[in-house]
């Protein structure tokens, strides 16, 4: 049982309680129920503050609402134990069978596990490693290479139409002894070599140029290198 599945189960239990007249929610059953991991494993596998969140709207005590929901949650397939803690938290322990079913689903889905269409139709451009054109590359750029690529992969898995962009700085005339056009060609050579070594990683290699001449030389270098 995943947190998403448990969230749906809690919402269905809440809706059933409303339909049965056990609780009144003038604002209706919320579409989102937060499920979190407790800090201590002694407090179960998952926890939710839904009773605390809705007590005022329901016109009742949060702990009383939690006790009511706990009775119904204990009947849900895959739920082994439900405890009411503190002012009205629900601590939920799922059964070993439910955990095993989740493991089986992960193995069967393979690389497709976790993929969905929640962001289908959304176009996103993730730009990372936009280095300072007058300074050297450093460890921070390496970190953002990993973070940027990870963010793009998550968006792709959610169905978004993602585009990864790395902005490379052009070295201005005189810096490090490179003429402007030569610096652009060096950048183009290194960019093309990196892109060939990591196929499918980037959709675009863009130059942050100080003038049109550098950009023209950069694009010519990329074109010549294929």
Residue among 215, 129, 211 nearest 168 (CA):
129
> What's the pLDDT score for residue 189?
61
> Is residue 88 pLDDT above 90, yes or no?
yes
Which ranges of 20-95 does DSSP label H, i.e. alpha helix? 50-58, 62-73
Element (H, E) at 189: helix 180-197
- Please give the Cα distance from 5 to 200 (Å, whole number): 33
Mean pLDDT over 177-203 rounds to 58
Lowest mean pLDDT among 21-25, 83-87, 113-117, 160-164: 160-164
Neighbouring residues of 126: CB distance < 8 A, sequence distance ≥ 6: 148, 151, 152, 155, 162, 163, 164, 165
- Please give the Cα distance from 204 to 164 (Å, whole number): 6
- Please give the Cα distance from 81 to 93 (Å, whole number): 5
Mean pLDDT over 195-217 rounds to 57
Mean pLDDT over 129-144 rounds to 69
Burial class (CB in 10 A: 0-12, 13-18, 19+), 12: middle
Domains of the chain (ranges; CATH) run: 3-97 (3.30.1360.70), 123-225 (no CATH)
- Angle among Cα 81, 85, 88 to the nearest 5 degrees reads 110
> What's the pLDDT score for residue 14?
93
As a whole-number percent, the residues of the chain with pLDDT over 70 amount to 68
- Please give the Cα distance from 56 to 96 (Å, whole number): 35
Q: Quote the pTM value.
A: 0.56
Residue-wise pLDDT for 137-155, tens only, equals: 677 777 877 888 888 888 8
* pLDDT bucket at 171, cuts 50 / 70 / 90: very low
> Is residue 30 pLDDT above 70, yes or no?
yes
Mean pLDDT over 22-41 rounds to 89
> Is residue 163 pLDDT above 50, yes or no?
yes
């Amino acid at each position: 049982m995943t947190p998403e599945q448990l969230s749906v189960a809690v919402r269905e239990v809440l809706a059933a309680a409303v339909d049965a007249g056990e609780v009144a929610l003038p604002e209706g059953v919320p579409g989102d129920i937060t499920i979190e991991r407790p800090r201590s494993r002694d407090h179960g596998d998952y926890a939710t503050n839904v009773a605390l969140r809705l007590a005022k709207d329901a016109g009742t005590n949060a702990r009383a609402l939690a006790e009511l929901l706990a009775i119904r949650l204990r009947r849900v397939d895959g739920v082994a134990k439900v405890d009411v803690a503190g002012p009205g938290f629900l601590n939920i322990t799922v059964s070993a069978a439910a955990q095993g079913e989740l493991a089986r689903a992960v193995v069967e889905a393979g690389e497709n596990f976790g993929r969905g269409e929640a962001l289908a139709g959304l176009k996103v451009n993730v730009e990372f490693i936009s280095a300072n054109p007058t300074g050297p590359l450093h460890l921070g750029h390496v970190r953002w290479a990993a973070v940027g690529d990870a963010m793009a992969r998550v968006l792709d898995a959610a169905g978004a139409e993602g585009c990864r962009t790395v902005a490379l700085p052009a070295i201005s005339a005189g810096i490090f002894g490179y003429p402007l056009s030569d610096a652009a060609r060096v950048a183009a050579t290194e960019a093309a070599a990196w892109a060939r070594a990591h196929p499918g990683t980037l959709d675009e290699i863009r130059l942050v140029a100080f003038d049109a001449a550098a950009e023209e030389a950069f694009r010519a270098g990329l074109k010549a290198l294929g």
